[in-house]
Structure 1
Amino acid sequence: MLMNTHEARLDALRKELSNRGLDGFVVPISDEHMSEYVGAYAQRLAWLTGFGGSAGTAVILTDPAHDPAAAMFVDGRYVLQVRDQVDARFYAYETVPQTSVAKWLGQHAPAGARIGYDPWLHGKGWVAAARKALAGTCGELVAVESNPIDAVWEDHPVPSPAPAVVHEETYAGVSSQAKREEISAWLTEQKLDATVITALDSIAWLLNIRGADVDRTPVSLSYVLAHADGTADLFIAEEKVTPDLARHLGNAVRIRKRSAFVPALRDLAGKRIAVDPERAVEAIFATLEQAGAEIVEARDPAVLPKAIKNPVEQQGHRDAQARDGAAVSRFLRWLEQNGPSGTVTEMSAADALQDFRQQSGDLRDLSFDTISGAGPNGAIMHYRVSEETNRTLEPGSVYLVDSGGQYPDGTTDITRTVWVGGAGEPSAEVKDRFTRVMKGHIAIARAVFPRGTAGHQLDVLARQFLWQAGLDYAHGTGHGVGSFLAVHEGPQRIAKSAGGQAGTDQELVPGMIISNEPGYYKAGAFGIRLENLVLVEPRQIDGAEDDYMGFETLTLVPFDASLLDLSLMTPDDIAWWNAYHAQVLAVIGPRLEGEDRAWLEARCQPIAG
């Protein structure tokens, strides 16, 4: 049962909205940079509703007697989690893309309603859609000057004061000056004066800096104006600037107070300014428009070069994956030994895994909160364990663990699904589902594709074996991954729909890193996901009439052979499995000793069909 504190917070917000003459308010998970993961100060949705996912929005109508008076919007990853965390007495549950906040407002907001929104937390496209939907009911979308949640949030956290730090070129591979020159050339070619860069990972990449302002993502709260002459303005809180940072940035990067950002935008009257509508909030567009700047909508010029890892970054990822793979392998041996005892919980397993990573050396942080799902909790795709939900791993059950580490040379993300032994064998259903997911994983890993291929064109390879049994999963098959940056990094993505989801139309090019993670989830029973990271690489094919590519698998940790139904595995499937495990043993084996090494050797033995 949820604590009444969320009811009290909802009541307080409604009183604040009433005092401001608003008939409702929209609460997203977002910050001023349109980040996926946000700092504690920006966790307004979690504070208000209790929802702990990374993607979601609430609409609160001021009148509690209205039916419905509030709604929570999540995508397919969170349809189970939202019901566990958000009280159905106060919120209707809505699923996107089947519906949207704008559509809901058009259908449910009172006629003539004044619906508030924070223009520093929403993109331009969302504002246009919501405004259009409300116009049909003679309603109005109202930009608030200050967020009403902040007015009622007692003990509201302040933004992190952590200093920004230098990301050495030995890890970055390319100097900040060279990156700024690349953007300068693009601006000059497009006859632009400057571009506004708001995405925190783009700023970190461009300036070769990192930070600690967002849990699990090493970025520093800031904005950048990059100019056509190769110079840049960095807007950042003064306490974050160290002498080392100033020396690193040099004279070509002017360090300015974060509070000077809006005045700087107002000074751009008459200038041609590139702004990314997917990554810049509505307030930035509005400020530039009011100032008289000419806005050119264009993708953030750091996004694509950041996604295409240079040779130093590629090797850094391999090194980080080897270090991480040894740690995860040690954990899986520990789990195999201790899981059947009935004393291991989801939380203690996640803690043990983090301990193994810390022992490996150079771990700076996890790359996201570990998804440690025992039995039915594994069916919650982005499950986050808590004291209230913590389950004991039961002998004779399925356990899913999705985790990753932040290392200075790379960001890791791996999912393994294992059988907790000690009480019987996996059921035929579990083995069937695991094997179909495994076959989809293998199909992506073995894919060969021509230049120009986008992520949506590969997605069916992962789903085909599930589809044959009338099954599917409600998340994408692959997301980009950064280099000691965001674990979810665009623009590339492997997912179902072209045009409907960001990144699915993006061409896959050599140097991109992307996850390979098909899954299957049976509500109330178990979840299966199998994830490795892969690197897009050129493929030499005799007689090829175009440039072709494939994937180098970077993640090296054994899969659980006890969950395979070998009757479903083809000779090609088995050949891939055996070759992969031989590589795991070759790379990870030298990093392990004694019983850990013996365990790995046993788990990497070839299988036969």
Structure 2
Amino acid sequence: MTKEFPPAVFQSFEEKSDPKDVAPRLAALRVELEKTGLDAFLIPRADAHRGESVPAGEARLAYVTGFTGSAGIAIVGRTKAGLFVDSRYTLQAPAQTDTRKVKVHEINSGGLSAEIGNYVKKGGRIGYDPWLHTPGEIADLAQKLNGKADLVSSDNLVDRIWDDRPGPPVTPVEFLGHNRAGRESADKLEELRGVLAGEGADATVLTLPESICWLFNMRGRDVPNTPFVLGFAIVPRRGLPTLYLAKSKITPEIKTALEGVARIADARTLPSALTRLGKARKAVQIDPATAPSAIAETLKEAGARLIEKRDPVLLPKARKNEAELAGMREAQRLDAVALAKFLSWFDEEAPKGGLTEIGIVTALEAFRREEETCIDASFDTIAGAGPNGAIVHYRVTIKTDRNLKPGELMLVDSGAQYLSGTTDITRTMATGTPTAEQKDRFTRVLKGMIAISTARFPKGTSGAQIDVLARQFLWQAGITYNHGTGHGVGAYLGVHEGPVGISPRYSMPIEPGMVLSNEPGYYKVGEYGIRIENLIRVRESEVTEGYLDFETLTLTPIDTRLIDVSLLTPIERDWLNAYHARVWKEIGTLVRGKVKEWLKAATASV
């Protein structure tokens, strides 16, 4: 009898936008362009906090263009409009927008595209909301436009036409105890003040919710998938910091929790506080890559001296302390139990031919929710059956839902937010007899993942330097993958965390305590996708002084049916067998019955 699962609550499968809405909304926006004397208006995916997830009322790009991806920007001119997305979304964007009205451009990372200038006449005026763009972004675009058009700070024109725009989120705030945070806020603030003193700054303005939440040991539910409290903070070199929150969030409980640590103020008073800093001729540190331009403009106009440096909280936050690491390990164990149940169920059901992508996502969520400390998914599950597995950031909807045919590969990339930590894992599963090509590609991906897992490298090494270790075996076959090999992961925070990762764009050295993903892949468009992902923790090498290596945190079997064992070296085979032995040892006692039997077989030596 097929197991029944409750409906998913962490993820919706509804179409979040309709291409038919694009034309009337563009027309309404052009009326506002006429009123303001602008020739075009920029609509980014980001909100003022630069989050990967945004509240419903901040999803302006989706409202106007229909595109719901996590990165992108549109320009709406008087007669034409463009949508700029990266390679992850070149299939999704055209499917979601009205391509008769909006031209979709693929761009590489590296700031906004100079092609934005083609949407206005020479000397045209392009408006932008200074709360939604950073100083670095605007300066970079101005340089690329090279005088072809002027960038003009403006009210947000989308908000003028969005009659039923949702209000800001009103959700509870929680504070972490020392057993979960590992450090008191006062200790973190003292360290931050030392950094400010070293930079000659009188204060810093923090705008990233992950930095603010980590600094004050608090978490919230303001956005999907990530336990953020949205707000701003001003931290002076001397005296108490001020935390700026929506007025609805300022409760006696929050004031009590932060008593002696920080003052609380209405977020609407932030501009006046910035003006006071400026008039006092203070030196204020801001991050030009993440802070809204409105903050920089207000400070500068009031007379402040700006010190442009990276957010000073990002690096200490990325270096997890022992309490945070213990929580992360616990989260991976809890997740491994859910994944064992899910994969056991999947292996039993997939050959029958009745599974759909939505059914697979729903089942995985249900197994995770059996653990009461699982409060959310850490991102929308990517469940790609057959050819959909080749869409790197595929999100299944009712419209795109596909039956998994026996014999196809199934790629599932998912994660969860447990009260103890954040998880992110990808497994690719066989549902029949894989082809020789599929086994070859899977094994090359696995060899790359093992190469990262077993790497030992001197302190000072960056993710850009070790990225090639994962790609080398694919390169030998003349193939590669067009995404990073790894990203930072927060401790009960964002599943994608800076400032360190594993890809050519990460030049910052990897440091002990950081948690990264390790996820090489291979994608054959129209046929299948392969990705294998574990989370790894950076640690001091016990073998070589002055060197670092990785501890694997994820505890879920890798599908050995997809491995061409003849391609593995003895060292790689030993690593795989040792990994599976560890999974059995740590998880085997936590599962029962059919799941235990499945896990025993799935972790058998090759």
Query: TM-score range with shorter-chain normalisation?
Result: over 0.9
Matched, 1:38 2:48: no
Aligned to 1:438: 446
Greater CA drift, 476-485 or 122-131: 122-131
TM alignment of 1:171-186, pairs within 5 A: 171-186=180-195
Aligned to 2:42: 26
Aligned to 2:300: 289
Matched, 1:581 2:588: no
In the aligned structure 1, how far is the partner of 2:372 from the partner of 2:161? Answer: 43
Distance 1:399 1:460, change over 3 A: same
Aligned to 2:71: 55
- CA displacement, residues 160-208 of structure 1 (integer Å, 9 cap, x when unaligned): 0113221222111111111111111222233221100100010000001
Aligned to 1:5: 21
Matched, 1:15 2:23: no
3-state secondary structure, aligned to 2:480: coil
Distance 1:570 1:47, change over 3 A: same
In the aligned structure 2, how far is the partner of 1:493 from the partner of 1:346? Answer: 30
In the aligned structure 2, how far is the partner of 1:359 from the partner of 1:164? Answer: 24
Aligned to 1:66: none
In the aligned structure 1, how far is the partner of 2:239 from the partner of 2:380? Answer: 38
Query: 1:18 Cα shift?
Result: 2.2
Aligned to 1:465: 473
- CA displacement, residues 311-339 of structure 1 (integer Å, 9 cap, x when unaligned): 01111111110011110111011111112
Aligned to 2:349: 338
Matched, 1:266 2:275: yes
Aligned to 2:526: 524
In the aligned structure 2, how far is the partner of 1:354 from the partner of 1:123? Answer: 36
Q: Give the AA of the match of 1:535.
A: R
Aligned to 1:129: 140
TM-score normalized by the length of structure 1: 0.94
TM alignment of 1:396-545, pairs within 5 A: 396-421=407-432, 425-496=433-504, 501=505, 504-541=506-543, 544=544
In the aligned structure 1, how far is the partner of 2:255 from the partner of 2:110? Answer: 47
Query: 1:220 Cα shift?
Result: 1.0
In the aligned structure 2, how far is the partner of 1:527 from the partner of 1:360? Answer: 30
Greater CA drift, 28-37 or 325-334: 28-37
Q: Give the AA of the match of 2:144.
A: A
In the aligned structure 1, how far is the partner of 2:565 from the partner of 2:303? Answer: 66
**Is the contact made by 1:45 and 1:58 (CA closer than 8 Å) also made in structure 2?**
yes
**Is the contact made by 1:164 and 1:241 (CA closer than 8 Å) also made in structure 2?**
no
TM alignment of 1:106-117, pairs within 5 A: 106-117=117-128
In the aligned structure 2, how far is the partner of 1:134 from the partner of 1:307? Answer: 36
Aligned to 1:567: 566
3-state secondary structure, aligned to 1:196: strand
Q: Give the AA of the match of 2:133.
A: H
Measured on the aligned residues, the alpha-carbon RMSD in Å equals 1.5
In the aligned structure 2, how far is the partner of 1:379 from the partner of 1:184? Answer: 47
**Is the contact made by 2:19 and 2:65 (CA closer than 8 Å) also made in structure 1?**
no
Query: 1:455 Cα shift?
Result: 0.4
In the aligned structure 1, how far is the partner of 2:469 from the partner of 2:595? Answer: 35
In the aligned structure 1, how far is the partner of 2:118 from the partner of 2:584? Answer: 58
**Is the contact made by 1:236 and 1:255 (CA closer than 8 Å) also made in structure 2?**
yes
**Is the contact made by 2:450 and 2:575 (CA closer than 8 Å) also made in structure 1?**
yes
3-state secondary structure, aligned to 2:409: strand
In the aligned structure 2, how far is the partner of 1:283 from the partner of 1:98? Answer: 24
Query: 1:20 Cα shift?
Result: 1.8
Matched, 1:235 2:234: no
Query: 1:273 Cα shift?
Result: 0.7
Distance 1:556 1:566, change over 3 A: same
In the aligned structure 1, how far is the partner of 2:503 from the partner of 2:368? Answer: 30
TM alignment of 1:301-450, pairs within 5 A: 301-421=312-432, 425-450=433-458
Query: 1:108 Cα shift?
Result: 4.7
Q: 1:201 aligns with which of 206, 210, 213?
A: 210
- CA displacement, residues 234-256 of structure 1 (integer Å, 9 cap, x when unaligned): 00123213333222211331111
TM-score normalized by the length of structure 2: 0.95
Matched, 1:141 2:151: yes
**Is the contact made by 1:395 and 1:420 (CA closer than 8 Å) also made in structure 2?**
yes
Q: Give the AA of the match of 1:525.
A: E
3-state secondary structure, aligned to 2:438: helix
Q: Percent identity among equivalent residues?
A: 47
3-state secondary structure, aligned to 2:270: helix
Q: Give the AA of the match of 1:377.
A: N
Query: 1:485 Cα shift?
Result: 0.4
Q: Give the AA of the match of 1:47.
A: Y
Query: 1:506 Cα shift?
Result: 1.1
**Is the contact made by 1:163 and 1:239 (CA closer than 8 Å) also made in structure 2?**
no
**Is the contact made by 2:136 and 2:288 (CA closer than 8 Å) also made in structure 1?**
yes
3-state secondary structure, aligned to 1:540: coil
Query: 1:2 Cα shift?
Result: 5.7
Greater CA drift, 340-349 or 464-473: 340-349
Query: 1:86 Cα shift?
Result: 2.6
Aligned to 2:131: 120
Matched, 1:552 2:562: no
Distance 1:126 1:346, change over 3 A: same
**Is the contact made by 2:185 and 2:261 (CA closer than 8 Å) also made in structure 1?**
no
Aligned to 1:162: 171
TM alignment of 1:242-257, pairs within 5 A: 242-257=251-266
Query: 1:105 Cα shift?
Result: 2.6
Query: 1:364 Cα shift?
Result: 1.3
- CA displacement, residues 198-245 of structure 1 (integer Å, 9 cap, x when unaligned): 000100000011111110011111100011125210001232133332
Query: 1:129 Cα shift?
Result: 2.2
In the aligned structure 2, how far is the partner of 1:298 from the partner of 1:19? Answer: 38
In the aligned structure 2, how far is the partner of 1:479 from the partner of 1:291? Answer: 38
Q: Give the AA of the match of 2:564.
A: D
Greater CA drift, 563-572 or 474-483: 563-572
**Is the contact made by 1:317 and 1:409 (CA closer than 8 Å) also made in structure 2?**
yes
In the aligned structure 2, how far is the partner of 1:398 from the partner of 1:86? Answer: 29
3-state secondary structure, aligned to 1:14: helix
In the aligned structure 2, how far is the partner of 1:570 from the partner of 1:198? Answer: 48
**Is the contact made by 1:463 and 1:472 (CA closer than 8 Å) also made in structure 2?**
yes
**Is the contact made by 1:27 and 1:57 (CA closer than 8 Å) also made in structure 2?**
yes
**Is the contact made by 1:166 and 1:244 (CA closer than 8 Å) also made in structure 2?**
no
In the aligned structure 1, how far is the partner of 2:43 from the partner of 2:550? Answer: 40
Q: Give the AA of the match of 2:533.
A: E
| Unaligned residue ranges in structure 1 (runs of 5+) | 64-68
In the aligned structure 2, how far is the partner of 1:99 from the partner of 1:524? Answer: 28
**Is the contact made by 1:230 and 1:252 (CA closer than 8 Å) also made in structure 2?**
no
Q: Give the AA of the match of 1:432.
A: D
Query: 1:300 Cα shift?
Result: 1.3
In the aligned structure 2, how far is the partner of 1:140 from the partner of 1:466? Answer: 45
Distance 1:447 1:558, change over 3 A: same
